[in-house]
DNA sequence: CCACGGATTGGCT
DNA sequence: GCCAATCCGTGGA
């Protein structure tokens, strides 16, 4: 999986850069909440709030490797997926969630999921017993125009299920 | 009050 | 490779 960290007053690329507003208020909740925002007039992106209440820091979910519920994800996404499991193939299941807005579509995350407490039963995270000894790569973040130099993008080394290499 | 542009995607040239 | 699609929060006037 691939994530990016967004901080607060020292991170111009973060929604929390200018303090708490109606849009980003969820970022200032206690860690463990889900921050879903609408952008480009058509897309949603999800973050997991980190740290203490009032901090305004979160981690953007940019990509995941589909393992279970692949049929459900195919249904949620409205594109042709050939069904191949080889991430090197075009139109493989990699396309299900190799981008922040794609991930939201696949998981059906939208406006109403904003502010969900991930410690509850509705939406939650489990480790699934997946890769534990993997190496994490650090690179610069993607799709932003300010704070570009910060290397706060993280993903599993060698894993092809990312939005960009 | 209103204009701007974005933590993007997918389809078309 | 390029660009349109399409909301709406934010910030400047």
Q: What confidence tens digit (pLDDT) does each residue in A151-164 have?
A: 999 999 999 999 98
Residue A129's H or E segment, with its range, is none
Mean pLDDT, all residues of chain A: 92
Read off the pLDDT band of A130 (50, 70, 90): low
Protein residues bordering strand C (Cβ below 7 A): A 15, 18, 21-24, 38-42
For residue A84, the model assigns a pLDDT of 74
Supply A36's token pair: 């879903």
Cβ partners under 8 Å of residue A127, min gap 6: none
Read off the pLDDT band of A20 (50, 70, 90): very high
Q: What confidence tens digit (pLDDT) does each residue in A39-76 have?
A: 999 999 999 999 999 999 999 999 999 999 999 999 99
Whether the pLDDT of residue A25 is over 80: the answer is yes
Strand C bases contacted by the protein (CB, 7 Å): 5-11
| pLDDT, average across residues A138-158 | 95
Ranges of each domain in chain A: 2-121+130-156
Q: What is the CATH number of domain A2-121+130-156?
A: 3.10.300.10
Q: What confidence tens digit (pLDDT) does each residue in A77-99 have?
A: 976 666 677 776 767 899 999 99
Task: Name the percent of chain A lying above pLDDT 70.
Answer: 94
How deeply is A76 buried, as exposed, middle or buried, from its count of CB atoms within 10 A (0-12, 13-18, 19+)? middle
Protein residues bordering strand B (Cβ below 7 A): A 4, 6, 13-16, 27, 35, 38-43, 45, 47, 58, 60, 77, 79, 95, 99-103, 105, 141-145, 163
Whether the pLDDT of residue A165 is over 80: the answer is no
């Amino acid at each position: 999986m691939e994530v990016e960290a967004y901080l607060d007053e020292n991170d111009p690329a973060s929604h929390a850069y200018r303090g708490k507003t109606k849009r980003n208020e969820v970022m200032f909740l206690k860690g463990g909440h889900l921050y879903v925002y609408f952008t480009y007039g058509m897309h949603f992106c999800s973050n997991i709030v980190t740290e203490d209440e009032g901090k305004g820091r979160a981690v953007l979910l940019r990509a995941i490797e589909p393992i279970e519920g692949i049929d459900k994800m195919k249904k949620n996404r409205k594109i042709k997926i050939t069904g191949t499991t080889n991430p090197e193939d075009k139109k493989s299941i990699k396309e299900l969630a190799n981008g922040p807005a794609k991930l939201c579509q696949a998981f059906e995350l939208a406006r109403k999921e904003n502010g969900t407490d991930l410690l509850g039963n509705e939406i939650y995270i489990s480790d699934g017993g997946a890769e534990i000894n993997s190496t994490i790569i650090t690179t610069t973040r993607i799709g932003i125009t300010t704070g570009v130099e910060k290397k706060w993008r993280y993903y599993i080394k060698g894993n092809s299920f990312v939005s960009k290499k």
